[in-house]
Chain A
Amino acid sequence: MTAAPDAGVSARVSESLLRTLGGADYVDPAVFAAECERIFEAGWFCAVHASDLPEPGSFRTVQVGRESILLTRSRRGELRGFFNVCRHRGAQICTEPSGQARRSFQCPYHAWTYDFDGRLVAAPNLTSMPDVGREEYGLRRVHVREWLGYVWVCLAEEPASFETTVEQEILDRLGAMSNLEAYDVASLQVGRRITYDVAANWKLIVENFMECYHCATIHPELTEVLPEFADGLAAQFFVNHGASFGEGIEGFTVDGRVGLERLPGLTSDRDRKYYAITIKPQVFVNLVPDHVIFHRMFPMGPDRTVVECDWLYLPEVVASGADLSASVELFDRVNRQDFEACERCQPAMSSRAYADGGVLVPSEHHIALFHDWVASHVR
């Protein structure tokens, strides 16, 4: 009897290489459920931009792990987040992804009615049930905070430490918070938003964002602007390393033409640099001299992830109606190229040939740290 030609291969890999996760981790509903429970529903999750909720009763509903979360502002303008679940019989309160509630949130089933603080203010025959507490039967709240102009939520009973998770990711990447503060991200406005519905597991998208081994192959425009990406080394490997614009490149645009007004807080050493940050588990930030590209991922299932990407500019640039297209098009192309690559991988994740996973070359070895991070939460 002869051994199968690949017998024993799974036991070890060449010295230059590290193993990826096995294919099942990208397709198994049980794995995805565990990630939802231990990662997305446990830690801080970046949900929407603060400007998506301009006034009391403005709302967005977002998927956080397995939960639908309703975000709004109270009558006093304070951010509020609730589980989008009626306390009566469980109907979803808001089925629209966004909108403006007039006076209250009313369940469309039996008209249980909640104010913008989540308090139960009315229900048919409620006056004859004086023992039903208006706070007690209010919408269940989630923790909410605003940072970098975004609304972050935490579904845990006791919120995770924002400092040792989200903020630590910035420190790990940029070395000091001041290196991010120079961009004053919270003061910027959304100039453009593009939503991508990606048929791939969220981890494939994170892994893709963390490495640049693929850049020279699938990102011709980006590699023109940032020639060092052709060396395949990760932009996110070295602390506070920014990739330099190529010679003759005047701005972070699809054809290297001059960009928009430069962010005023930047020192000259950041004038022609690109920085990329991954804030695990679902945020990617790109910093360039005249704008910030901010991705939020919403894992919808093992094989589907919605990505909302915002291009943020100075308020005066957005107000001026300046043409943002050359600026937006560069990273829109990068996104489409990346997501197409991720979608190409997804079907192979359930292949027998990938059951033991693949391998990471040295310029991808830091992805193993991401795998360790996932494993430390889920296992």
Chain B
Amino acid sequence: MIRICSTDDVVPGEGLRITSTVPPIAVFRTEDDEFFALDDTCTHQDASLADGWLEGCRVECPLHASTFDLRTGAVDEPPARLPVRAHEVEVRDGEVFVTLSTAVPHLPPGVTLGAS
């Protein structure tokens, strides 16, 4: 488990892109003050889900409107076809900790591990 950021770093209803991980992840803070973490890059094209539209327990990719479940990373409809990985989150003393998934990430064409 690694410390990712402080809770105050994430605005309620928004996401924060974290580039210290490989690949980058997005930490989301819902309006209900729950925290979630997904791979940040949409599986369809290189776009940051942290910049997406957060509503309830889903985030909509800002480019082509596929939405991903914050709890599972599952995608609802094309153009994205593959899920993003969901990471386990723990909030302790105002700090956000994440256990990165060990699954193989689904990155879009042209994006490779290590590219930030």
Identify the A interface with B (CB < 8 A): 102-104, 106, 111, 113, 121-128
Contacts and interface: CB of A to CB of B under 8 A. Distances in A.
B46 A113 contact: no
A125 B46 contact: yes
Interface in B1-59: 17, 24, 40-41, 45-48, 51-53
Nearest to B115: A128
Nearest to B61: A122
Nearest to A103: B53
A104 B61 CA distance: 11
Contact of B62 (A122, A125, A128): A122
B17 A124 contact: no
Contacts of B61: 122
The 10 A-B pairs with the shortest beta carbon distances in the complex, nearest first, are: A122-B62, A125-B46, A103-B53, A121-B51, A127-B48, A122-B51, A122-B47, A122-B63, A113-B62, A121-B62
Interface of B: 17, 24, 40-41, 45-48, 51-53, 60-65, 110, 115-116
A104 B24 contact: no
A122 B64 CA distance: 10
A285 B60 CA distance: 45
Chain B interface, DSSP helix/strand/loop, else mixed:
loop
B68 to A, nearest CB: 15
Contact of A127 (B17, B53, B64, B65): B17
Nearest to B13: A75
A132 to B, nearest CB: 12
A103 B47 contact: no
Given A103-B65, A121-B51, A122-B51, A127 B60 contact: no
Contacts of A122: 47-48, 51-52, 61-63
A151 to B, nearest CB: 26
B48 to A, nearest CB: 5
B53 A126 contact: no
A103 B60 contact: yes
A111 B53 CA distance: 16
B47 A126 contact: yes
Nearest to A113: B62
Contacts of B46: 124-128
B63 A113 contact: yes
Contacts of A111: 63-64
30 contacts: A102-B65, A103-B53, A103-B62, A103-B65, A104-B53, A106-B63, A111-B63, A111-B64, A122-B47, A122-B48, A122-B51, A122-B52, A122-B61, A122-B63, A123-B47, A123-B63, A124-B45, A124-B46, A124-B47, A125-B46, A125-B110, A126-B46, A126-B47, A126-B48, A127-B24, A127-B40, A127-B41, A127-B47, A127-B48, A128-B46
